């Protein structure tokens, strides 16, 4: 059995510069989704222990926020370099606790590092403003200051990148941050803590706490000291955390569920569209909030596109992420595969047809065959709910207006994609899609320089890009009389 990389593996939480177990001795067992075997254990902290982390973050903020941005940047750069230097070990760790194939996992380690590097630079460019005053004896200035102690609650699908995308801007801005990773993937979060220590981040600036979600989340949302919460995960939990944050009027960044449409017009380059659909749909076995959830294809190319897509999907290999040339690993757990099965069963009952896959993979466990369904309609569950698995339901449409209407018929608004060779259509469709991110002739849109985030019930705020650091800054207006 492949072992976790020992130099980065911790079974204790990083609190106030110390590696601490739960006083109760309680632990959470972390398993490999490929075979259910145990890959590690982490503490299940009590509320009081999480409160200690909050107090330590407040103490650390006093010094960290006062440092020159250049000094914070130098430490973050070292952290970035260490993450890059350990990309292989971090990749292996993610494959073992999350399941994604090694190449994807290593890619995530580098993607995660890119947010630290980017915000190490952006932190030096937090500019204020001088506003022309309506009165001659006054001057009006705008200062930007770090919000204070921040908390992050992160998901299992990107065990490293969803942490660094939040911690990078927070720390660069001068905030301190406590992270609660998902119970399925805490080891990568703790490994980032090991590298943060090596980089010289002062104690209390970046802390990782593990434990029961309601207990930890209750402390982080209830605390008056925590001034901001950043969450990536389901819309359902986002709503709960928003409500829990209301009494203390916390600032919130919420990256929630998606239901991404992928529209292929008659004039699209079909081969490019098929490759885009493969990249967007089957990345991380379909377990990404920006993964295509619904494919809309115009009538003139419907048969040609679905045929090509099904043939290409047939070439994807399913297997354990540590095996060579695997493109699709296991789903995260039983709930995930049961949801995929239920969505496929519902579609088939209502008249859809299987063009590829359509059932659990012969390997057993939570492996599911990459699937293509044709003859899909808006009445099916796959049209309304995020499947979060390797299933591509293909819908048919006739007009541009119809495609846009169907694409927008959802409470979600994270990512959308469309393929067309018409320059006129690019503007019309991009502007009409009610989404925070739109890919034209591409199925991959995420990187550290672009603003990631959604509209409607997909969330609040933007991560990455020069906009991302604003979410960790307060504006202070200074009016000074000079007369």
Ligand X SMILES: O=C(O)CCCC(=O)O
**x/- letters, 117..136, toward ligand X (CB under 6 A):** --------------------
As given in the structure block, the two tokens for residue 10 are 């911790």
Closer residue to ligand X in complex, CB, 104/400: 104
Closer residue to ligand X in complex, CB, 400/448: 448
Q: Does 255 bind ligand X (CB under 6 A)?
A: yes
Which element (helix H / strand E) includes 226? strand 226-232
Q: Which residue is nearest to ligand NDP (CB)?
A: 217
Among 176, 298, 446, 458, binds ligand X (CB under 6 A): 446
Which element (helix H / strand E) includes 396? strand 391-397
Q: Which one of ligand X, ligand NDP, none is in contact with 446 (Cβ closer than 5 to 8 A by kind)? A: ligand X
Query: Which listed range, 142-150, 158-166, 211-219, 336-344, lies at the site for ligand X (CB under 6 A)?
Result: 158-166
| CA separation for the pair 373, 366 (Å, rounded) | 20
**What is each CA distance from 176 to 27, 49, 151, 242, in whole angstroms?**
26, 17, 8, 21
**Sign of the dihedral through C-alpha 386, 390, 393, 399:** positive
**What is each CA distance from 242 to 175, 236, 256, 363, in whole angstroms?**
21, 10, 12, 40
Strands 415-419 and 437-440: parallel
List of residues 6+ apart from 84 with CB closer than 8 A:
109, 110, 113
Which residues inside 312-351 make contact with ligand X, applying CB under 6 A? none
Q: Does 452 bind ligand NDP (CB under 6 A)?
A: no
Which residues inside 111-150 make contact with ligand NDP, applying CB under 6 A? none
Strands 437-440 and 292-298: unpaired
**x/- letters, 247..276, toward ligand NDP (CB under 6 A):** --------xxx-------------------
Q: Which one of ligand X, ligand NDP, none is in contact with 366 (Cβ closer than 5 to 8 A by kind)? A: none
| CA separation for the pair 276, 471 (Å, rounded) | 31
| CA separation for the pair 164, 52 (Å, rounded) | 23
In 3D, which of 178, 72, 65, 160 has the Cα closest to residue 119?
A: 72
Among 45, 76, 290, 347, binds ligand X (CB under 6 A): 290
Closer residue to ligand NDP in complex, CB, 296/388: 388
Active-site choice (255, 369, 400, 448): 255
**x/- letters, 273..292, toward ligand NDP (CB under 6 A):** ----------------x---
401-416 residues labelled b (16+ CB within 10 A) or e (exposed):
eebbebbbebebbbbb
SS3 content of the chain, % helix, strand, coil (to 5): 40, 25, 35
Q: Does 219 bind ligand NDP (CB under 6 A)?
A: no
Active-site residue 255, yes or no? yes
Closer residue to ligand X in complex, CB, 367/452: 452
Q: Please give the angle made by the CA atoms of 468, 153 and 258, to the nearest 5 degrees.
A: 70
Q: Does 157 bind ligand X (CB under 6 A)?
A: yes
Q: Which one of ligand X, ligand NDP, none is in contact with 290 (Cβ closer than 5 to 8 A by kind)? A: ligand X
Q: Does 230 bind ligand X (CB under 6 A)?
A: no
Strands 473-481 and 138-146: antiparallel
**x/- letters, 164..203, toward ligand NDP (CB under 6 A):** ----------------x-xx--------------------
Q: Does 237 bind ligand X (CB under 6 A)?
A: no
Among 84, 110, 141, 240, binds ligand NDP (CB under 6 A): 240
Please count the other Cβ atoms lying within 10 Å of the Cβ belonging to residue 165. Answer: 29
Total number of residues that touch ligand X (CB under 6 A): 11
Q: Is 176 left (phi over 0), alpha (psi -120 to 50) or beta?
A: beta
Closer residue to ligand X in complex, CB, 32/232: 232
Which residues contact ligand NDP by CB under 6 A? 153-157, 180, 182-183, 213-214, 217, 232-234, 237, 240-241, 255-257, 289, 386, 388
Which residues contact ligand X by CB under 6 A? 157-158, 161-162, 232, 255, 288-290, 446, 452
Active site residues: 255
């Amino acid at each position: 059995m492949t072992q976790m990389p020992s130099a980065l593996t911790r079974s204790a939480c990083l609190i106030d510069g110390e590696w601490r177990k739960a006083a109760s001795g309680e632990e959470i067992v972390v398993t490999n989704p490929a075979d259910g075997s145990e890959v590690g254990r982490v503490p299940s902290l009590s509320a009081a222990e999480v409160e200690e982390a909050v107090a330590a973050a407040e103490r650390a903020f006093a010094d960290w926020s006062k440092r020159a941005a250049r000094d914070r940047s130098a430490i973050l750069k070292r952290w970035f370099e260490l993450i890059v230097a350990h990309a292989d070990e971090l990749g292996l760790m993610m494959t073992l606790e999350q399941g994604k194939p090694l190449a994807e996992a290593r890619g995530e380690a580098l993607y995660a590092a890119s947010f630290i590097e980017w915000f190490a630079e952006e932190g030096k460019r937090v500019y204020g403003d001088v506003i022309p005053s309506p009165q001659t004896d006054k001057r009006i200035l705008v200062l930007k200051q770090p919000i204070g102690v921040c908390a992050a609650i992160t998901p299992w699908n990107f065990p490293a990148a969803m942490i660094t995308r939040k911690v990078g801007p927070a720390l660069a801005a001068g905030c301190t941050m406590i992270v609660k990773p998902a119970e399925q993937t805490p080891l990568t979060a703790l490994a980032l803590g090991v590298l943060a220590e090596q980089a010289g981040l002062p104690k209390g600036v970046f802390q990782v706490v593990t434990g029961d979600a309601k207990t930890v989340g209750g402390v982080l949302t209830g605390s008056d000291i925590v001034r901001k919460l950043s969450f990536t995960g389901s819309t359902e939990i986002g709503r709960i955390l928003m409500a829990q944050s209301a009494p203390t009027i916390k600032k919130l960044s919420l990256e929630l569920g998606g239901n991404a449409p992928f529209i292929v017009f008659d004039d699209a380059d079909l081969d490019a569209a098929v490759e885009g659909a493969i990249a967007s749909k089957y990345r991380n076995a379909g377990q990404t909030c920006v993964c295509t959830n619904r494919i809309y294809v115009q009538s003139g190319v419907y048969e040609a596109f679905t045929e090509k897509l099904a043939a290409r999907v047939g070439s994807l290999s399913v297997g354990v992420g540590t095996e060579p040339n695997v493109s699709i690993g296991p789903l995260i757990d039983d709930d995930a595969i049961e949801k995929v099965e239920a969505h496929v069963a519902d579609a088939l009952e209502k008249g859809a047809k299987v063009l590829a896959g359509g059932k659990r993979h012969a390997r057993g466990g939570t492996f599911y065959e990459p699937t293509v369904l044709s003859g899909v309609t808006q009445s099916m569950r796959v049209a309304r709910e995020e499947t979060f698995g390797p299933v591509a339901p293909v819908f048919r449409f006739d007009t541009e207006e119809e495609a846009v209407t169907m694409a927008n018929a959802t409470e979600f608004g994270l990512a959308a994609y469309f393929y067309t060779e018409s320059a006129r259509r690019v503007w019309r469709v991009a502007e009409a899609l009610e989404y925070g991110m739109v890919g034209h002739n591409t199925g991959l849109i995420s990187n550290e320089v672009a603003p990631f985030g959604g509209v409607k019930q997909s969330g609040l705020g933007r991560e990455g890009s020069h906009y991302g650091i604003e979410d960790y800054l307060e504006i202070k207006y200074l009016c000074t009389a000079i007369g």
